[in-house]
């Protein structure tokens, strides 16, 4: 299994270099995590949270799923959000989508991919509610605009959750940000953010 051995070799080298650069790095992190960011992003292998914003282990609490969705009945995502707000007390929640998202594209096409079709129904709903705007665009623009609309919708979903509303009621200092990432140049654009 050379593919897996490669990972283990990489890990050994990385741990050695990291330890060499900062002998306290692992011992400090092992005691506790104090990230100030919660990142909700897409599972796409080309959009790794820490790497694209150049943050170290310990700096960002991460939840990723196909098409960076925040669904109120998704116990996994809701638990991450609750833990981030109540326990870690993160200062920023970032929903980051990306242009050319395969999940968004699949939702626009009527091809069946299996179980995931059900997950993507949520994006079909967003497309439906912006039908007019999307119909005026060409296919490429339509996918990318829906990627943006999806991020904005998911950020709204974060805001509507009971855990976020409770945090607001107790005047917790937390801001919500909607980001979109370009696979073409590695740059993030801010679509919307709390001031
Ligand atoms: Co994606």
Distance CA 194, CA 177 (A): 6
Whole-model pTM?
A: 0.95
Above 90 in pLDDT, residue 195? no
Of the listed 63, 77, 96, 101, which one is catalytic?
Answer: 101
Q: What is the pLDDT of residues 145-184, one digit of tens each?
A: 999 999 999 999 999 999 999 999 999 999 999 999 999 9
What per-residue confidence (pLDDT) applies to 58? 96
* DSSP-derived pairing of the beta strands 60-65 and 92-98: unpaired
Report the alpha-carbon distance of residue 28 to residue 127 in Å, rounded.
46
Please state the φ and ψ torsions of residue 189, each to the nearest 5 degrees.
Answer: -115, 140
Note if 46 is an active site residue.
yes
Rounded to an integer, the average pLDDT of 65-73 is 97
Protein residues within 5 Å, CB atom, of ion ligand 1: 42, 44, 101
Task: Tell me the pLDDT tens digit for each residue of 109-153.
Answer: 978 899 999 999 999 999 999 999 999 999 999 999 999 999 999
| Burial (Cβ within 10 Å: 0-12, 13-18, ≥19) of residue 28 | exposed
Work out the end-to-end distance of the chain between its first and last CA atoms, rounded to an integer number of angstroms.
50
9, 13, 22, 46: the catalytic one is 46
Burial tier of 111 (Cβ tally within 10 Å: 0-12, 13-18, 19+): exposed
Mean pLDDT of 53-72: 97
From CA 158, how far away is CA 194, in angstroms rounded? Answer: 13
pLDDT score of 44:
98
**Residue 110, pLDDT score:** 78
| 54-83: average pLDDT | 97
Is 142 labeled as catalytic in the residue annotation? no
* CA pair distance 142, 163, nearest whole angstrom: 33
pLDDT the model gives residue 52: 98
pLDDT in tens, 81-104: 999 999 999 999 999 999 999 999
Residue 152, CA distances (Å) to 33, 70, 79, 90, 143 in order: 28, 11, 21, 20, 14
């Amino acid at each position: 299994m050379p593919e897996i051995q490669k990972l283990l070799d990489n890990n050994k080298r990385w741990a050695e270099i990291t330890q060499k650069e900062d002998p306290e790095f692992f011992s400090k992190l092992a005691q506790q995590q104090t990230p100030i960011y919660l990142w909700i992003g897409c599972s796409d292998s080309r959009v790794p949270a820490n790497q694209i914003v150049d943050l170290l282990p310990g700096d960002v609490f991460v939840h990723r799923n196909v098409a960076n969705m925040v669904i109120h009945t998704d116990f996994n995502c809701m638990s991450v959000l609750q833990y981030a707000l109540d326990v870690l007390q993160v200062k920023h929640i970032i929903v980051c989508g990306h242009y050319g998202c395969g999940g968004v594209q699949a939702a626009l096409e009527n091809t069946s991919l299996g179980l995931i079709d059900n997950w993507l129904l949520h994006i079909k709903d967003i497309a439906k509610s912006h039908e007019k705007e999307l119909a005026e665009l060409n296919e490429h623009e339509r996918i990318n605009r829906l990627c943006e609309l999806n991020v904005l919708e998911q950020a709204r979903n974060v805001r509507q959750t009971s855990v976020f509303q409770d945090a607001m009621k107790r005047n917790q200092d937390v801001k919500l940000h909607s980001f979109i990432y370009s696979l073409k140049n590695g740059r993030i654009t801010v679509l919307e953010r709390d001031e």
